[in-house]
Amino acid sequence: MLNRAHAYKAVVGDNLKAGKQPDADVNAGLYNYPVLMAVDILLYGSHVVPVGQDQRQHVEIARDLAVAVNRTCGEVLAVPEALIQEIVMTIPGVDGRKMSKNYNNTIPIFADAKALHQEVMRIVTDSKRPEDPKDPDACNVFNIFKYFALPEAVESRRNAYLNGGLAYREIKQELYELLNDFFGGFQLTTIN
């Protein structure tokens, strides 16, 4: 099962392209990670797991493990289903690529307000001036903003992008406020 995992296949493919043995540089972590993700899902008895398309395989592995355990031990584990919404199949990171800790392009939603603000303000944008029309679908800030703002705010900002008159600093500040309002109660606090 783990040899079918995307990460394993990617390493094998890279090795073959480089003329190496298929399993060169394959380590236990490559196998342990999908099992760890599956255990994280199964631990809580989740029946439905909201994930992005890129995480579907973790739910499938969790399902396979739950079915195998249940076949042997009786119905002890919930068999989870992936819930993948088309509009949130992949969340963009601060650099426009898929958000991932591996790319170091995440927004620390549970960090304190200052750290959250700093990360939002460093989201990569182009060099267009506020008065220039912009493509909202090509903007990293807007592509995160639309998941947290109300539909009317998304539409208003989309129009401001298309018609000009919106500074990136302004939309970043709005995104920060949305994230801080949404996650603020869960943020870490420091003890001095």
Query: What domains sit in the chain, N to C, each tagged with a CATH number?
Result: 2-87 (3.40.50.620), 101-186 (1.10.240.10)
User: CA 152 → CA 66, 103, 105, 148, 149, distances in Å?
Assistant: 42, 32, 28, 12, 8
Pick the closest to residue 52 from 6, 10, 117, 14 (CA basis). Answer: 6
Q: Could you tell me which of 115, 64, 63 has the C-alpha nearest to residue 94? A: 115
User: Which pLDDT does position 79 carry in this prediction?
Assistant: 97
CA 74, chain centre distance (Å): 34
Is the distance from CB of 165 to CB of 129 less than 8 angstroms? no
d(CA 104, CA 144) in angstroms, rounded, equals: 16
Q: What are 83's strand-pairing partners?
A: 50
Dihedral, CA atoms, 155, 161, 167, 172, nearest 10 degrees? 50
Backbone angles phi, psi at 37, to 5 degrees: -65, -40
Cα–Cα distance measured from residue 10 to residue 7, given in angstroms and rounded to the nearest whole number: 5
Quote the pLDDT of residue 19: 94
Write the CB contacts of 64 (distance below 8 Å, at least 6 apart in sequence).
1
Instruction: Report the Cα 172 to chain-centroid distance in Å.
Output: 19
- According to the model, what pLDDT value does residue 188 have? 59
The verdict on pTM exceeding 0.75 is no
Q: Which pLDDT does position 55 carry in this prediction?
A: 82
Cβ neighbours of residue 160 under 8 Å, at least 6 residues apart?
A: 166
Give pLDDT tens digits along the chain (192 positions).
Answer: 888 888 888 889 989 999 999 999 888 888 898 899 899 999 999 899 988 777 888 999 999 999 999 999 999 999 999 988 766 556 778 887 777 777 788 888 888 889 899 999 999 999 999 999 999 999 999 999 998 899 999 999 999 999 998 999 999 999 999 999 988 777 655 444
